[in-house]
Amino acid sequence: MQNLESKPSQSSYRLKVIRVLALLFVVALTVVIFLFRDRIRHLEGYGYLGVFLISVLAYATVIIPLPGVVITTAMGAVFNPLWVAVAAGSGAGIGELTGYLAGFSGQAVVEQAGWYERIEKWMRKYGDPTILILAAIPNPLFDVVGIVAGVLKMPIYRFLFWAVMGNIIKMLFFAYGGALGVRWLGI
């Protein structure tokens, strides 16, 4: 009689490899961005594209915050604040995909954390509004939402849409704050 124990399927093995590679990518990207954070500021000279790229990089770090909103505030004082917010919010939303990938790749580790069960229930019940609201509020813990969305296998386009929308809302406040601050100071 053959051994009837289930063997891991080829697709299961592939999924594990993809998860490990995604996690390694997130960790490596975070380390590289942190090490070269001073050079990233030179992208400001590229206008809206620079704001977009800085935001992608600032929000691509998992847990280690970089001053993306500070640059958005400063650029809002120099350029049209609406377009600064759109560029920065779009970049930030794309950068948040690293949290999603970390959740997708590290599912077994994350599911064992004490906070996971509570956040998972909240995400299952209010997924889209949760992403929108928490992306719109300046907080360093948004990565947790991305991680949970990744673990829950939320469609990536849906996570990205709400993360970008929420980040644009947040960046509107910072960009217009920079523009109004300059006017208020009379500079």
Q: What is the pLDDT of residues 106-119, one digit of tens each?
A: 655 555 566 677 77
> What's the token pair of residue 124?
């299952």
* pLDDT for position 89: 94
Averaged pLDDT for residues 62-77: 72
pLDDT of residue 93: 92
What is residue 4's predicted lDDT score, i.e. its pLDDT?
Answer: 47
Q: Which of 157, 143, 156 is nearest to 113 (CA)?
A: 143
Tokens for 97, please give them: 């995909």
Query: For the residues 74-85, what does the mean pLDDT come to?
Result: 87
Round the average pLDDT of the chain to a whole number and report it: 77
Supply the pLDDT for residue 152. 87
Residue 57: closest CA among 91, 102, 99? 91
What is the rounded average pLDDT of the residues 142-162? 89
CA dist., res. 92 & res. 163, Å (int) = 8
More confident residue, 2 or 151: 151
